[in-house]
């Protein structure tokens, strides 16, 4: 059930305050991070909680949550009102009515209030009494919208052109891909994606995932894409390809041999053409083999590729960005900055620490439960990340409008502000219908060659018929 929403206007700086009943902002227990979430007091109503948020003087309070009498986990929390002083807003349904939340929309004071996705601009409007009202609003950059420029502006998708859907080459027989990183080279659109062997699905990825190169069969970034060749055999997963300032294509992925389970060598899973495993196939298989971040480099999309392990050991969801100077920054699961080198080519110099000290000198506000980061810089060298939210129902099945895609921003690549929802699991189609995805993960933005203006978003996408790599245009 969608939350009930009310709206009222506060006095003073005149922020709009919206009340979202039966809704939890970024999960129930985020108030444990008192850097960003402050206990404002105890109130008898959500409206009263909102007034405490607006009146808070320690910093701008941007959203708030109140625990109701239905909160059974800890009775001492009932009536407590918490306020976020960061911009995190991920309004998740609270089906048991144990928490209500609200959003405070202040006039912007600077570009950070526009998620570094726009400019804070003074505006003048005239009301019904012909009175001029001067305020400040966000003028969003290409591809973004919303009061804080936190939402991706996505175009409807042609259901006959869904990006990279390997089923098309197999007469409808299952062949699944999982996410894709796209680069435009010499005008052509190239994708590097995870694809699963033997007709199997994503559930077998630890044994069946390989990295393949696919090329758009049209002049469009939207595809459709056709597989050209394999680049890294199993096990290889989560490719993220960036362009170095000297032109090389640099791919980071997780890689490893298939290892053993209980002393027996693992083999790739075998599946029917519909994707059903035909014999023993380890489920989670977390101990099958070690996942190691690996760098794979080529001068052209067609290779040849050279592969170099970076760190032995477990390394989930790596994403990198190479700056104009050739320095590499990396982010991993949870939004943690986890790699740095002044020169990306000097693999021996890669460190888990960021410049200035140790691995803990970076942060992401509100400590979101998130994975699959995609790290990048915009045209103004501001840092951004798209992430897959694990708050709420992330393998969403029949959930409508699940808040699966989230955004964060940073001025320096160290201190990150988490903004919350950027897109949902629902995809508008050009025929006027809506495709509701069972899973929508592994985000990547796509930029036209030589620019940092987004032209498309890619995701791993799952329906009842396997998975594919969705490519959705960004509206200019």
Q: Is residue 119 part of a domain?
A: no
Do 188 and 39 share a structural domain?
no
Do 98 and 22 share a structural domain?
yes
Do 161 and 58 share a structural domain?
no
Q: Is residue 127 part of a domain?
A: no
Residue pLDDT, tens place only, 84-96: 999 999 999 888 8
37-42 β-sheet, strand order: 5-9, 16-20, 99-105, 63-67, 80-84, 37-42
Is residue 445 over pLDDT 50?
Answer: yes
Q: Is residue 451 part of a domain?
A: yes
Q: Say which CATH number the domain at 15 has.
A: 3.50.4.10
Structure tokens at 295: 């760098």
Residue 288: per-residue pLDDT:
60
Domain end residue (candidates: 106, 133, 163): 106
Do 239 and 324 share a structural domain?
yes
Q: Is residue 177 part of a domain?
A: yes
Residue 279: per-residue pLDDT:
76
Please give the model's pTM, rounded to 2 decimal places. Answer: 0.92
Q: Which residue has the higher pLDDT, 191 or 336?
A: 191
Number of structural domains in the chain:
2
- Torsion-angle region of 22 (φ positive above 0: left; ψ -120 to 50: alpha; else: beta): left
Range of the domain at 54: 5-106
Compute the distance between CA of residue 281 and CA of residue 201 in angstroms, rounded to an integer: 12
Domain end residue (candidates: 47, 72, 106): 106
Q: Any bridge partners for residue 249, and if so which?
A: 243, 298
Residue pLDDT, tens place only, 264-291: 788 888 998 888 888 777 655 555 666 7
Domain end residue (candidates: 106, 129, 163): 106
Do 169 and 72 share a structural domain?
no
Q: Say which CATH number the domain at 405 has.
A: 2.120.10.10
- SS3 call for 455: strand
Element (H, E) at 442: strand 439-447
Nearest to 437 by CA among 447, 451, 424: 424
Compute the distance between CA of residue 113 and CA of residue 111 in angstroms, rounded to an integer: 5
Q: Is residue 113 part of a domain?
A: no
Do 89 and 161 share a structural domain?
no
């Amino acid at each position: 059930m969608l939350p009930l929403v009310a709206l009222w206007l506060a006095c003073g700086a005149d922020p709009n305050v919206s009340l979202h009943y039966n809704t939890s902002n970024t999960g129930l227990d985020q108030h444990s991070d008192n850097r960003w979430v402050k206990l404002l007091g105890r109130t008898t109503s959500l409206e009263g909680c909102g007034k405490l948020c607006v009146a808070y003087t320690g910093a701008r309070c941007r959203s708030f949550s109140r625990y109701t009498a239905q909160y059974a986990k800890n009775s001492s929390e009932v009536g407590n009102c918490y306020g976020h002083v960061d911009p995190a807003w991920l309004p998740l349904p609270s089906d048991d009515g144990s928490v209500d939340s609200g959003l405070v929309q202040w006039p912007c004071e600077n570009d950070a209030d526009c998620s570094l996705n726009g400019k804070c601009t003074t505006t003048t409007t005239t009301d019904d009494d012909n009175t001029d009202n001067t305020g400040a609003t966000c003028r969003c950059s290409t591809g973004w919208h919303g009061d804080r420029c936190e939402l991706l502006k996505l175009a409807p998708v042609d259901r006959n052109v869904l990006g990279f859907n390997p089923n098309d080459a197999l007469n409808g027989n299952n062949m699944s891909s999982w996410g894709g990183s796209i680069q435009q080279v010499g005008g052509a659109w190239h994708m590097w994606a995870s694809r699963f062997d033997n007709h199997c699905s994503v559930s077998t990825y630890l044994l069946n995932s390989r990295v393949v190169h696919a090329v758009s069969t049209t002049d469009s970034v939207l595809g459709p894409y056709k597989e050209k060749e394999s680049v890294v055999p199993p096990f290889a997963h989560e490719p993220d390809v960036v362009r170095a300032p000297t032109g090389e294509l640099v791919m980071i992925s997780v890689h490893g041999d298939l290892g053993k389970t209980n002393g027996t060598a693992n083999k790739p899973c075998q599946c029917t053409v519909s994707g059903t495993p035909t014999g023993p196939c380890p489920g989670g298989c977390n101990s099958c083999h070690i996942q190691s971040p690996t760098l794979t480099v080529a001068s052209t999309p067609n290779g040849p590729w050279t592969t170099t392990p970076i760190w032995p050991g477990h390394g989930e969801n790596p994403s990198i960005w190479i700056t104009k100077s050739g320095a590499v920054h990396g982010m991993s699961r949870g939004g943690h900055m986890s790699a740095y080198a002044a020169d990306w080519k000097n693999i021996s110099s890669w460190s888990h620490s960021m410049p200035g000290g140790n691995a803990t000198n970076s942060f992401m506000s509100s400590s979101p439960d998130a994975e699959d980061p995609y790290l990048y810089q915009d045209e103004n060298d501001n840092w951004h990340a798209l992430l897959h939210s694990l708050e709420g129902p992330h393998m969403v099945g029949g959930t409508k409008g699940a808040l699966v895609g989230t955004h964060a921003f940073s001025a320096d690549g160290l201190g990150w502000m988490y903004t919350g929802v950027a897109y949902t699991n629902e995809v508008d189609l050009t025929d006027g219908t809506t495709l509701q995805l069972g899973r929508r993960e592994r985000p990547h933005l796509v930029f036209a060659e030589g620019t940092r203006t987004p032209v498309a978003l890619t995701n791993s996408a799952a329906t009842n018929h396997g998975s594919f790599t969705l490519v959705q245009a960004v509206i200019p």
